[in-house]
Amino acid sequence: MSEPVQKRRIVITGVGVVSPIGIGKSAFWQSLTVGRSGIGRLLSIPSGNLPSKLAAEIRDFDPLRYLPEKKYLKVMSRDIQLGVASAALAMSDADLERDDIDPDRLGVVFGSGRMSTTPQELAEAVRACSEGGEEFQPTRWGEDAMGRIAPLWLLRQLPNMPACHVSIEYNARGPNNTITSRDSSAILAINEAICCIERGAADAMIVGACGSNIQPLDIAKMSLFEGLSRRTDDPEHACRPFDFDRDGTIVGEGAATFVVEDYESAVRRGADIYCEILGTGSGHDGSGFANEAGGTGLVRAMSQAMKRAGISSASELGHINAHGKSTQSDDLVESRAYHRMFGDDAERIPVTALKSYFGHCDAGSGAVELAGSVLALRYGELPMTLNYEVPDPRCRINVVHDEPLRLRTRSALSVNRTNIGQSAAIVVRAV
């Protein structure tokens, strides 16, 4: 009988963050430790006719600092720019040089969502359909108006482009994939990367997720289907995960990337290891939050991640990094899922909800949140949740607020869930 295959240890050796509260891990962590919010009034686009006038914008981002050539900007939406920049920061942090790894053994997996076009990109073609003062003529769109759209316009909207740009930049010729599962994309991307390494297809993977919801269409859609806060008079206190007075989430933007490696490979090259990935899990409710099934997928995801991690007791978790979307329904479903999973221990495990700092940035949210947990394990301190003032008696969980918490246990569970029930969970532990 053949010997069983030894499970490979998978670790994180690089972290890159581009967020409304800081670009780079140091600036990002500093904001978390002092409770600095990145939410304010929407400034990058006119907001007069929009249902929400608040956003978490990255206001000091210069993509040319991270791109090899200016010409690439022509085929990069805002989402792609953020993702590529976070990958550059992660690779620099990991100190992974081209000579350190066979390019055929280096892969890329990225999470991304729907990348919105801007009205300006299509304006000339639309105007062409009503030239000469005529009414809008739809037939002219196919006749000649489409020719006025930039030939490479579509490349700015394709969700697989972050992974493409990153793999080209770092000559990563190994496995390449894109996950488009909204909020849960980042953790699912890490799971895919782990599978690539464990089956021997790669030694290291560049894994991240990016998103930007700062577009009129995104804001209108989220206002209709997910709920945005109307606290326009007090932007910094608008996003209030698990608080009784929460009234909706905030649109945001951001990206984070991790260099994920086989432990033995990382040790051989002398890499600085942040943490080990002990297990991941996924699940789906099949029905969103509208009925009693809401949250079942999240319970399954947490159960899988805990089982794969070999953790059977809630006491082994130093904290939970919650999805914490700040809508009445989502937070309620999430807190109930913790009680289904952990029973009464759900009221004792420290919980942080980092969207209170930087809002909701679609696929990028899970990545930026996970970066917060990875750094929390590194420094032994859990950032507090902002704006948690009136506990919701229906959400009976231990939300860390008022000040950061010193961690006694260096392991963490981070979760994400879409508004239709796609769920993912990951367990990490400091090495």
pLDDT for the residue 200? 94
Q: Quote the CA–CA distance of 425 and 283 in Å, as a whole number.
A: 9
Q: Domain containing 375 — which CATH number?
A: 3.40.47.10
pLDDT in tens, 79-127: 999 999 999 999 999 999 877 899 999 999 999 988 877 777 777 888 8
Of 355, 359, 323, nearest to 338 by C-alpha is: 323
pLDDT for the residue 288? 52
Does residue 1 lie in a domain region? no
Does residue 131 lie in a domain region? no
For the chain, percent of residues with pLDDT exceeding 90: 74
**pLDDT confidence band for 5 (50 / 70 / 90):** very low
pLDDT at 7 over 80: no
Domain that holds residue 296: 10-117+154-430
For range 127-152, the mean pLDDT = 81
* Average pLDDT score, the chain: 92
Residue 262's CB is within 10 A of a number of other CB atoms, namely 21
Does residue 307 lie in a domain region? yes
pLDDT in tens, 21-75: 999 999 999 999 999 999 999 998 888 888 889 999 999 999 999 987 888 888 8
Name 300's Cβ contacts closer than 8 Å, sequence gap at least 6: 281, 282, 283, 423
Element (H, E) at 88: helix 78-94
pLDDT for the residue 215? 86
Does residue 312 lie in a domain region? yes
Q: How many residues does the chain have?
A: 431
For the chain, percent of residues with pLDDT exceeding 70: 97
pLDDT at 305 over 80: yes
Does residue 220 lie in a domain region? yes
**Token pair in block for residue 266:** 């990382």
Dihedral sign for Cα atoms in the order 271, 275, 278, 282: negative
Residue indicated by tokens 């003032």: 389
Name 5's Cβ contacts closer than 8 Å, sequence gap at least 6: none
**pLDDT confidence band for 4 (50 / 70 / 90):** very low
State the helix-helix crossing angle for 363-379 and 25-34, rounded to 10 degrees: 80
pLDDT for the residue 118? 73
pLDDT in tens, 398-409: 999 999 999 999
Q: Quote the CA–CA distance of 98 and 55 in Å, as a whole number.
A: 38
Provide the domain count of the chain.
1
Does residue 283 lie in a domain region? yes
Does residue 182 lie in a domain region? yes
**pLDDT confidence band for 12 (50 / 70 / 90):** very high
Strand, helix or coil at 148? Answer: helix
For range 155-161, the mean pLDDT = 89
Phi first, then psi, for residue 60 (nearest 5°) are -120, 30
Does residue 140 lie in a domain region? no
Q: Which residue has the higher pLDDT, 384 or 69?
A: 384
pLDDT in tens, 210-220: 999 998 888 88
pLDDT in tens, 345-377: 999 999 999 999 999 999 999 999 999 999 999
